[in-house]
């Protein structure tokens, strides 16, 4: 520890600098209160990420089930697909797109659930995963955008990094 006025090396417990007489202040005032307040914000953020991940998985599964039924011609008045002229495009196109959508929904939900779990456990990897998930969810207007901004504001910056490090 060094004096903020003259740079003199200090020993812990000194009330003032022996060279310039400047009083020694604690490094971060009210650190315990700030860490406790930050811990509550991280807990709320982790719960919202877990709920968002679960809802993404459930609603994505329901949506893809109906999309599969519709595109394969099981819904609606069309006997052979939604356009009435037989199956849509080449035979491989619709199943390929639907498989890609299933993988996308699964990965997005898994990332959100991992972010929520990592923040709940106060791990360093959870913070990194939550920041990545926040950037990826910014384009999912309005809920994903709001959650992404809230996550970035809560986790980025020197002060927030220092407070998060105190939690781990």
pLDDT tens digits, residue range 83-111?
A: 555 555 556 677 788 899 999 999 999 99
- Structural domain spans, the chain: 31-167
- pLDDT band, residue 22 (cuts 50/70/90): confident
Per-residue confidence (pLDDT) for residue 12, from 0 to 100: 74
pLDDT tens, position by position, 114-145:
999 999 999 999 999 999 999 999 999 999 99
CA atoms of 118 and 106, how far apart (whole Å):
18
CA atoms of 76 and 82, how far apart (whole Å):
7
Average pLDDT over residues 39-43: 96
> Which comes out higher in pLDDT, residue 160 or 89?
160
Per-residue confidence (pLDDT) for residue 75, from 0 to 100: 62
Per-residue confidence (pLDDT) for residue 13, from 0 to 100: 74
Angle at the Cα of 55 (from 53 to 65), degrees rounded to 5? 115
> Which comes out higher in pLDDT, residue 154 or 29?
154
* Whole-number Cα distances in Å, 26 to 23, 29, 30, 78: 10, 6, 9, 75
Is this structure's pTM higher than 0.75?
no
pLDDT at 113 over 70: yes
Report the 10 Å Cβ neighbour count for 133.
25
- What tokens were used for 128? 């990194």
CA atoms of 17 and 24, how far apart (whole Å):
7
């Amino acid at each position: 520890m060094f004096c903020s006025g003259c740079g003199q090396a200090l020993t812990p417990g000194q009330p003032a600098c022996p060279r310039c007489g400047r009083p020694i202040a604690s490094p971060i005032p009210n650190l315990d209160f700030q860490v406790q307040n930050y811990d509550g914000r991280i807990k709320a953020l982790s719960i919202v990420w877990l709920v968002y991940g679960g809802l993404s998985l459930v609603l994505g599964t329901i949506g893809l089930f109906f999309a599969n039924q519709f595109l394969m011609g099981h819904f609606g008045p069309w006997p052979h697909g939604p356009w009435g002229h037989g199956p849509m495009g080449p035979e491989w196109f619709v199943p390929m797109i639907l498989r890609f959508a299933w993988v996308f929904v699964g990965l997005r939900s898994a990332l959100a659930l991992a972010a929520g779990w990592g923040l709940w456990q106060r791990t360093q990897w959870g913070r990194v995963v939550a920041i990545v998930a926040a950037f990826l969810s910014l384009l999912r207007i309005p809920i994903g955008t709001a959650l992404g901004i809230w996550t970035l504001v809560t986790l980025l910056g020197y002060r927030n990094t220092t407070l998060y490090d105190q939690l781990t």
